[in-house]
Structure 1
Amino acid sequence: MRSTKASSAVERLNKRGDQTYSMGTNGKGLFWLSQPGENGVSAKLCEPMTMDDFVMFVNGFGPQIVKRVSKLDVEFSKQLVKK
């Protein structure tokens, strides 16, 4: 099973925030998000889920990056509304 998509989502999450998260997987191909806690015990932050559901969950978890919008983008969207 390819888990590159899931591990990339966790890597992006770690870059967005100041906390460290990790991914776990089981033999059935289900993924979960965990966070290292005190005494080396990891806390699961979600139930095991399929890869696509896991990626959607991780993308919506934690701080989000605000997309930059240029003046040209604003003007272009105004023109689209007029038509």
Structure 2
Amino acid sequence: MASPRSTRASAAVDRLKLRSGNAGYSMARTGDGLFFLSEKAGAPPLCAPLELDAFVAFVNGQGPQVARRVSKLDVAFEKQLVKKKPS
């Protein structure tokens, strides 16, 4: 059974695969519990072995980024924040 740590890391790699369209990305875990990413199984790693949080941040920064969805209500709220000035 996968630990929550590896599940979180593999979910980040799955999101990267969807964003980039490259299904070859592969994650590996060292004996020390550190993670690294490669473009395909057996390829040289794209990063040094990293702790979980650093690895997830690294993977999230790779590939094309998904634009944040903004609703009309969000835009209106941000305009109100700009208009309000303390008196």
Normalised-by-shorter TM-score class? 0.7 to 0.9
Give the count of matched residue pairs: 80
The aligned counterpart of 1:66 is 67
After TM superposition, the runs of 4+ consecutive aligned structure 1 residues lying more than 3 A away are none
Alpha-carbon distance between aligned partners in 1 of 2:69 and 2:12, rounded to the nearest angstrom: 21
| Higher CA-based Rg | 2
Name the residue aligned to 2:38: 34
SS of aligned partner of 2:39: strand
Instruction: Find the partner of 2:15 among 3, 12, 16.
Output: 12
Find the aligned partners of 1:78 and 1:43 in 2 and give their Cα distance: 48
Shift of 1:70: 2.1
Identical positions, percent: 57
Q: Which protein is richer in strand relative to its size? A: 1
By how many angstroms is 1:82 displaced? 2.4
**How far off is 1:51 after superposition?**
0.5
TM-score (norm 2): 0.82
Question: Letter of the aligned partner of 2:10 in structure 1?
Answer: S
What 5-or-longer segments of structure 1 have no aligned partner?
A: none
CA deviation after TM superposition for structure 1 residue 46, in Å: 0.5
Match of 1:25 among 29, 47, 63: 29
Q: Aligned Cα RMSD in Å?
A: 1.5
Any stretches of 5+ residues in structure 2 without a counterpart?
none
TM-score using structure 1 length: 0.86
